[in-house]
Structure 1
Amino acid sequence: MNSAFLFGLLGWLDLFGIAVFATSGALAAARKGQTLVTFAFFALVTGVGGGTVRDLLIGAPVFWVQDSRVPILCLAIALIIWVTPVRIWRAGAVDWFDAMGLAAYSVFGAAKAMQLGIDPVPAAIMGIITACVGGVIRDLLAGEPSIIIRPELYVTAGALSAFSFVALMQTGMDGIVAAAIAFAAGFALRALAIVKGLALPVYRGAAEDE
């Protein structure tokens, strides 16, 4: 995996994922009519939650503790959302920002794990964890049903991005192209789930036993 890609594109992809997840967290606080402090907290834990768990699992320094740009970015986004008129944000804005963060962070999480020598399949799983945990924490704090147990596709979209990126990198494809394709695939699937309500079949065994 070429270093120019890792330290260039991935750095921007990381900040993009953090920014859109932080935005979704701040918007969740806005929807609940919370204080500025709560906005900041939601933005921070949503923006860094998945990456924190990933770094702990792969034995890497926790990224946002090492880079002050990350908490500053999250706090700045919380402030921007706080001073923005609520009419600007559509009711479904959280879902769309979350969808962008999901795709971006799935790719970045997998790429960072591969950079540190993690095997391809566990690296892809690290991408999924990076992308999903922040949203889970946000929903838990907001007292809403977790995004991962709603019927429409969510984790599946993150898995598509992460596994696509890992698979494409194994073919020797240029990293920038692989990241772009993987991001587009995951975002497109999540967008279809939001718009069309696409969902996987659910387990019916319990209902049949009753």
Structure 2
Amino acid sequence: MDEKITTKIGHVAHNDPFDLFDVWFREAKNKEDAYPDAMTLATADAQGRPSARIVLLKDFDPEGFVFYTNYESRKGTQLGENAYAALCFHWKKLERCVRIEGPTNKVSAAESDEYFQSRARGSQIGAWASTQSRPMAGRFDLEKRVAEFTAKFGFGKVPRPDHWGGFRLVPDRIEFWSEGTFRLHDRQLYTRDAEGTGWLVEKLFP
């Protein structure tokens, strides 16, 4: 049993959760059938009512985990009211999960601009056309707005809308979970220390 868990965790330095995440994420990209970058994003509004949805991880480093969205969407509005959020990755073939919690902040305008320009033109137009999370009478409403903005920008550069950009979740808690026989799973928790400069590492009961 212990041998299986050790194999699943991987032979990496355990004092830095970003090193371990990098190893697991690269393995997921090699082995999972689709969307290894898909993660559940959980947010809550000012009253504490939670909401969850799937978004895609676009970047990560020791500063945090980055995703992009419409700032006026439901998740964007909730993060404006309550900056704390949680992420959860589930990699079925690897039998692993990673849970991440912490406050969020908007990435810089320059960082959002750079990523926006890397997107397909259709996705750029879509960011302008969709008033995300708001009701529409029918699909034609969206198609009409897509046509309007396609005509507006013609063949020129599509600028990033002010209402669209990135968030970075700055983790203060990261848990790595590996499947175990008889549900005796392996759980390793990293928590920011009091100074915010290092990590406390604990094993948790499954």
**TM-score normalized by structure 2?**
0.29
| Structure number with bigger Rg | 2
**TM-score normalized by structure 1?**
0.28
Higher helix residue share: 1
